[in-house]
A = this chain, B = another copy of it.
Amino acid sequence: MSAETALTNELLEALRSLLGDRVSTSLAVREQHGKDVSYHEGSPPDAVAFAESTEEVAQIVRLCAEHKTPIVPFGTGTSLEGHIAALKGGICIDLSRMNEILEINAEDLDCRVQAGVTRKQLNEYLRDTGLFFPIDPGADASLGGMASTRASGTNAVRYGTMRENVLGLTVVTADGRIIRTGGRARKSAAGYDLTRLFVGSEGTLGIITEVQLRLHGVPEAISAAVCAFDSLEGAVNTVILTIQSGIPVARIELLDEVQMAACNAYSKLDYPALPTLFFEFHGTPAGVKEQAERVAELATEFGGRDFQWATQQEDRSKLWQARHDAYWAAKALRPASGGWATDVCVPISRLAECILETKRDIEDSGLLAPLVGHVGDGNFHLVYLIDEEDEEEYRRASAHNDRMVMRAISMGGTCTGEHGIGYGKIPFLQAEHGEAVALMRQIKNALDPEGIMNPGKVLPE
C-alpha cells in the first residue's frame, strides 16, 4: 500500500532536536511499526518517534499539528484490523518506552500506569499484592493500546472489558494539550464521560499516555473444568443457561470440533474431537465448588459428557494450555498458511444459530477455519487458514467474513466484539450504526479538525 509522504525536513529536524536519536527513519524500523499482526496490508510511517513522557508526546503532537502531519500511536503492534498502518504516512509515536507503573492503590483496588506498560508486566508487578488485572487479550499488549481498542478476552464475562476497567486517562489532544479524564472514585456523575469516549477511539481523537485501571483481588479459590458435547447446540445452550442463572463464571470458552482436533494433534492430548467448553470459576472454596456443581448439572442436561473438574494449579494449567495454544494448533493444521482472525459478537440467545449458520457457510465455502469463542459474552472468532499467495482463496475467506459479520449485525450483534475497527471494518461500522456514524464524525471533526490523528481509521472518509 502506498502512503502519501507527509514528512518535511523541517519537521524531521525539529523532532531530532527534541528527541535526538529517538527518531528513526530506517526502513526496518518504519516497516516494523506500520504492520500489525492482522492479514491487513501494512503501511510504514515516514518516521518513528520513541517518546519517554507525556510531555514529550505533547511536544511531538504540537510539532506535527504545526506541520499538519499525521500521527499514529503505537504500543506493541499486536492489533488485528490494521490499526497502526500509516495510511497517509506521517509520524508513528512509539509509546513502548513509557513503561513505568506510576502508582498502586491497593486499598482502593486501582493503579495508574504509563501507556506502554503491558498487561503481563503489570500482573508480574502485582504478584505479591493479592491483586491482579484480569483483561487478557491473546497478545501481551500494552495497556494504552488495550484502552484504545476497548480490548477484552477470556475473563470479560466476569470482569468486564477495558470499558469497565479503565477509571481514567491522561490524553494528549490533537493540538497538544494534556488532559486528565475520569478519576479514582468508583463512580461519578460529573460531566461528560470522556474516559469512555477515548476508550475504543483507536488513537483517532487523541493519544492515551497514562491509564488509571481498576484492579481485582486474586480469588481465594480457582477451579477449572472441561466438558465435551455431542452437539454445538448443547454446548451453547449450557452457556446461555449458565449466564441466565447468574452463575458468576470467570471464563467460559468454546472450542469447536475442528479446533479440538487441532489441539489434540498439536499438544498431544486425547480430548474427544467434539465441541468443548472450558470453564474457570473464581470465589471462595465453597463458592467455586457450588458453581462447578451447578454448571455440571446444566451441562449434563444438554448432553455434556464427562465433566472434568480441576482445582489444583497444575491440573488447571494443563487443562488451559490447550486453550491458550489454540491459535498455534490451528496454524499447525496447515503449516504454510496465514491465519486471519475474525471477530463478531451477538446476543447470547442468537449464539447457537449464528455459529451454526457460520459453520455451514465455512463448509459451503470450502474453507478451513477452526472456531474459538468467549461464548459467555456471545463473542466468537474463526481463524481462516489460507494460502496467502492464493488470491481466490483470500477472496472466498473475505466473502465469508462479510457474510458472517452481516449475519451478526442482523441478529442484533456487533461487527467486532473486541478487535476494533481499524481500517478493516469501516464499512461494517456504517452497516451497524447507521446515522450514529455521522455523530461520531462530528465528534472527530471537533476534536481533530485537521484530521491528523490516526487518519483513515474507525470512520469512513
Residues on A close to B: CB < 8 A? 105-110, 149-152, 156-157, 160-161, 163-164, 173, 177-181, 183-194, 196-197, 199-201, 205, 216-217, 219, 240, 243-246, 248, 284, 286-287, 290, 343, 345-349, 377-379, 412-421, 425, 428-429, 432-440, 442-447, 458-459
Q: What residues on B are CB-neighbors of A414 within 8 Å?
A: 183, 185, 187-190
Q: Which 10 A-B pairs have the closest CB atoms?
A: A446-B446, A196-B196, A188-B414, A107-B349, A217-B246, A184-B412, A108-B347, A150-B189, A185-B345, A179-B436
Nearest CB on B from A256, distance (A): 20
Contact assessment for B200 and A197 in the assembled complex, using a CB-CB cutoff below 8 Å: no
Q: What residues on B are CB-neighbors of A188 within 8 Å?
A: 150, 345, 414, 416-417
Contact assessment for B177 and A435 in the assembled complex, using a CB-CB cutoff below 8 Å: yes
**Count of chain copies:** 2
Q: What residues on B are CB-neighbors of A189 within 8 Å?
A: 149-152, 200, 343, 414, 416-421
Contact of A183 among B106, B152, B413 (CB under 8 A): B413
Contact assessment for B183 and A412 in the assembled complex, using a CB-CB cutoff below 8 Å: yes
Q: What residues on B are CB-neighbors of A419 within 8 Å?
A: 189
Excluding A150-B188, A193-B197, A217-B245, 17 further A-B contacts by CB distance (< 8 Å) are: A108-B348, A152-B189, A163-B193, A177-B435, A180-B433, A185-B417, A186-B377, A188-B414, A190-B416, A190-B428, A190-B433, A191-B421, A191-B429, A191-B436, A192-B197, A216-B246, A445-B446
Which of A196, A240, A245, A437 has the largest count of B CB atoms less than 10 A from its CB?
A196
Tell me, in angstroms, the Cα distance from A244 to B245 when the chains sit together.
26
Q: What residues on B are CB-neighbors of A377 within 8 Å?
A: 185-187
Tell me, in angstroms, the Cα distance from A416 to B110 when the chains sit together.
20
Tell me, in angstroms, the Cα distance from A437 to B197 when the chains sit together.
14
**Nearest residue in B to A243 (C-beta to C-beta)?**
B109
Tell me, in angstroms, the Cα distance from A243 to B214 when the chains sit together.
13
Tell me, in angstroms, the Cα distance from A167 to B125 when the chains sit together.
34
Tell me, in angstroms, the Cα distance from A417 to B446 when the chains sit together.
28
Contact assessment for A418 and B246 in the assembled complex, using a CB-CB cutoff below 8 Å: no
Contact assessment for A178 and B435 in the assembled complex, using a CB-CB cutoff below 8 Å: yes
Contact assessment for B244 and A107 in the assembled complex, using a CB-CB cutoff below 8 Å: yes
Contact assessment for A349 and B413 in the assembled complex, using a CB-CB cutoff below 8 Å: no
Contact assessment for A379 and B187 in the assembled complex, using a CB-CB cutoff below 8 Å: yes
Contact assessment for B436 and A185 in the assembled complex, using a CB-CB cutoff below 8 Å: no
**Nearest residue in B to A420 (C-beta to C-beta)?**
B189
Question: Can you offer 14 A-B residue contacts whose CB atoms are under 8 A?
Answer: A107-B349, A108-B348, A150-B189, A179-B434, A184-B413, A186-B377, A187-B379, A187-B414, A188-B345, A189-B200, A191-B437, A191-B459, A197-B443, A248-B248
Q: What residues on B are CB-neighbors of A185 within 8 Å?
A: 345-347, 377-379, 412-414, 417
Tell me, in angstroms, the Cα distance from A151 to B177 when the chains sit together.
31
Contact of A192 among B201, B246, B416 (CB under 8 A): B201
Contact assessment for A107 and B443 in the assembled complex, using a CB-CB cutoff below 8 Å: no
Q: What residues on B are CB-neighbors of A106 within 8 Å?
A: 244
Q: What residues on B are CB-neighbors of A200 within 8 Å?
A: 189, 191-193
